Amino acid sequence: MEKLIITCALTGAEVTKEDHPRLPVTPDEIAQAAYEAYLAGASIVHIHGRLEDGTPTQDKEVYREIIEKIRAKCEIIIQVSTGGAVGMTAEERIQPVTLRPEMATLTTGTVNFGQDVFMNTPSDIEQFAKTLSQYGVKPELEIFDVGMIHNGLRLLKKGLIQEPLHFDFVMGVPGGIPATPKNLLHMVESIPPNATWSVAGVGRAQLPMATMAILLGGHVRVGLEDNIYYTKGVLAESNAQLVERVVRIAKELGREVASPKDARKILGLLS
Ligand code: KMH
Ligand code: ZN
């Protein structure tokens, strides 16, 4: 089986310091959390920008500072969010892609998101795909429900994204696909055989979905963006602690963990 790529989603746009006092928010905190996740075994960090007061931002200069600070510490693959926060405009959301990070997310459909709507119109999705391609940034297709896989495949047919595709199944968002083993299997069976995939289980689904992905030959995303708890009612100490647990489980199950160099090879990031 391919080595296991672990992505750490460090901050997100929804969790606050009130929810988790050690949530990394400033560029220095995010860079330090990325470094600790890298030392723990993550090969990709998924990042979101925040202003000083914790408000989500897609401001290019905030992302520039975060990226420079992470790059000064380690060679982890940096994946910027183009999802940002619910309610942001497409123009705001796309900004960090122009910094030419190695990867960026690309959500291929609209989904209810708790009481909100995470809006991704067909024309915005196509424009995002074009911009990623223009800046040489590999998309990670963020799949919140099954139809989004097929929207992604339509982008491929139109020549707006290139193979090999990489999917991330975000499972357990209220409004999106529930995080069940059966649903995960269905999603895995719905993507092309040469595509890679990871799963991001939300909340208490993080650990079981990660374990399933390790067994099935997929990859794993963990981190405070998706889940702030280590066990029921007990906050995780850090992003790194969530990565460390996945590394331990992978080792027990005989799956080797990918370095960033391995991950670049697996994802086709090396030209
Ligand atoms: N914050 C969510 C509305 C992404 O990063 O691309 C969207 C999100 C997905 O987090
Ligand atoms: Zn995100």
- What ipTM does this complex have? 0.99
- What is the predicted pLDDT for the residue at 232? 96
**Residue minimizing CA distance to atom 4 of ligand 1:** 83
C-alpha span between 207 and 172 (Å, rounded): 12
Show Cβ contacts of residue 72 under 8 Å, excluding neighbours closer than 6 positions: 31
**CA 181–ligand 2 middle distance (angstroms):** 23
How far is residue 163's CA from residue 17's CA, in Å, rounded to a whole number?
39
Ligand that comes closest to the CA of residue 221: 2
* Closest ligand to the CA of 106: 1
Ligand nearest to the CA of 143: 1
How remote is the CA of residue 84 from the centroid of ligand 2, in Å?
A: 7
Does any ligand 1 atom lie closer than 6 A to the CB of residue 10?
Answer: no
pLDDT for residue 225: 98
Residue 13, ligand 1, Cβ within 6 A: yes
Query: Which residues hold their Cβ within 5 A of ligand 2, which is an ion?
Result: 81
CATH of span 6-267: 3.20.20.70
Q: Which two tokens stand for residue 225?
A: 């963006």
**Which residue matches tokens 């926060």?**
85
What's the pLDDT tens digit per position in 203-227? 999 999 999 999 999 999 999 999 9
Ligand 1 atom 6: residue of nearest CA = 83
Question: What per-residue confidence (pLDDT) applies to 4?
Answer: 98
Length, in residues, of the chain: 271
- Residue 247 and residue 241 in contact, taking contact as beta carbons nearer than 8 Å: no
Asked if omega into 178 is within 30° of 0 (cis), the reply is no
Atom in ligand 1 nearest the alpha carbon of residue 118: 3
Transcribe 85-121 into DSSP letters.
STT--HHHHHGGGGG--SEEEEE-S-EEETTEEE---
Give the per-residue pLDDT at 41: 98
Cβ 102 under 6 angstroms from ligand 1: no
- pTM of the shown model: 0.98
- In the predicted model, residues of the chain with pLDDT beneath 70 are none
Q: What is the pLDDT of residue 66?
A: 98
